[in-house]
Amino acid sequence: MEDLKEIKEAKIKETIRLTKLASCAGCGAKAGAGLLKTLLTDLPVREDPNLIVGYDRSDDASVYVVNKDLAIVQTVDFFPPIVDDPELFGQIAACNALSDVYAMGGEPKTALNVMTISNQMDRETIHAILRGGYEKVYEAGAIITGGHTIEDLEPKYGLAVTGFVRPDKVLTNSGAREGDVLILTKKLGIGILTTAAKADLLDASLLSKIQEQMACLNKTARDVAVKYRVHACTDVTGFSLLGHAYEMAEGSGMSLHLESENILFWPDAFEMADMGFVPAGAYRNRDYAEPHVVWKKETPRPMQDILFDPQTSGGLLLSVDSRDAEACLRELQDSLDGVSQIGYVTAGDPALIVE
């Protein structure tokens, strides 16, 4: 097996590096949350009583009720290469897109490929990306039914996903309640580390570990969460922990307290941030979220960068009823690596208090 792995890695090195074809990597390429709000302002919103979650809610996916037992969850997500291995890129991009359905408490059912191809990509590279996507969708228990591909200067890949959920079981990012406990299911620092990886500054072992985290579905986290009284949920991706947490605070009309000492992150991310390897998306996230952040204690700049760091295929941020928090946290930690209890919710104006 090691010989096969070495041959595959050598073959990747012989071909064009996918990350060199893209100006941004992964979810770091997302338009900033502040820009999106500006772009969507004043667009006409059509009312439909069956649309219980739409784009005006700043949530992870839309939810449309079909009947009392069934609602459809829909989302689309795609981005430029975050790794050079094309099959792994396909897996991570698919995992990231599927995550939006999990964040709503849903079960993915069908998916459509969304892809742009560069003239510098050969047939096998394109097949490998698609193969990676198929593998991850199959792992999620869903199927790919088609897609759309166009030529572009930069390669991009992702999915449009449709899932199912019971209307009374939908999770949104706007239901956090006073007294809830905040749980995060993956470590932070992915954007910083993948930026450093483009400069060949990460050792192979660390790179393999962060790639494994990005390729890990949030299915298990969702499966555990729906057993408990979870009042709000979102996945932490391109807008960073603080960006997505503020959307939860704003949507819920609550203050979220984040205990920085309890937040798990990749230690090397602190060192790399201190050296200046911070993706452009982190600065967009800071512009958007920092006006709503209260720093209760001195927080080193590299730690701030980690909190604003855009995550690719990040974990779920759960706002859990305090009566269920201990049991939910224990089961998540028994099932997954990188789970941490990171704060709590209080009544007050929408804000983030970093303690």
CATH code of the domain in which 300 resides: 3.90.650.10
How high does pLDDT run on average in the chain?
92
Owning domain of residue 276: 181-354
217-229: average pLDDT? 98
Same domain, 209 and 282: yes
Instruction: Report the chain's terminal Cα–Cα distance, integer Å.
Output: 47
Query: What's the pLDDT at 12?
Result: 46
Contact 343, 182 (CB under 8 A): yes
**Given pLDDT bands bounded at 50, 70 and 90, which one contains residue 273?**
very high
Of 141, 169, 197, which one is at a domain's C-terminal end? 169
285-296: average pLDDT? 97
**Rounded CA gap, 97 and 84, in Å?**
19
pLDDT in tens, 302-312: 999 999 999 99
104-108: average pLDDT? 98
212-220: average pLDDT? 98
16 Cβ contact partners less than 8 Å away, ≥ 6 residues apart? 120, 121, 125
- Inform me whether the pLDDT recorded for 13 exceeds 50: no
Query: What's the pLDDT at 227?
Result: 98
167-176: average pLDDT? 97
Same domain, 299 and 226: yes
Of 169, 201, 229, which one is at a domain's C-terminal end? 169
* Count of CB atoms situated within 10 Å of the CB of 189: 25
- The residue behind tokens 């555990």 is 224
Q: What is the Cα 277 distance to its own chain's centre?
A: 20
**Which carries the bigger pLDDT value, residue 191 or residue 20?**
191
Name the token pair of 261: 């000492």
Query: What's the pLDDT at 64?
Result: 97
Query: What's the pLDDT at 29?
Result: 59
CATH code of the domain in which 135 resides: 3.30.1330.10
27 labelled catalytic: yes
> How many structural domains are present in the chain?
2
**Rounded CA gap, 164 and 174, in Å?**
20
**Which carries the bigger pLDDT value, residue 50 or residue 54?**
50
275-293: average pLDDT? 96
93 domain residue, yes or no: yes
139-148: average pLDDT? 98
Q: What is the pTM of this model?
A: 0.90
Same domain, 165 and 19: yes
DSSP letter string, 100-118: HHHHTT-EEEEEEEEEEE-
Query: What's the pLDDT at 45?
Result: 73
Interstrand relation of 293-295 and 181-184 (parallel, antiparallel or unpaired): unpaired
- Inform me whether the pLDDT recorded for 299 exceeds 60: yes
**Rounded CA gap, 140 and 108, in Å?**
7
- The residue behind tokens 């230690």 is 267
Q: Which of 24, 27, 233, 328 is catalytic?
A: 27
* Count of CB atoms situated within 10 Å of the CB of 48: 10
* Whole-number percent of the chain with pLDDT over 90: 83
Query: What's the pLDDT at 54?
Result: 87
**Rounded CA gap, 191 and 277, in Å?**
9
Same domain, 186 and 62: no
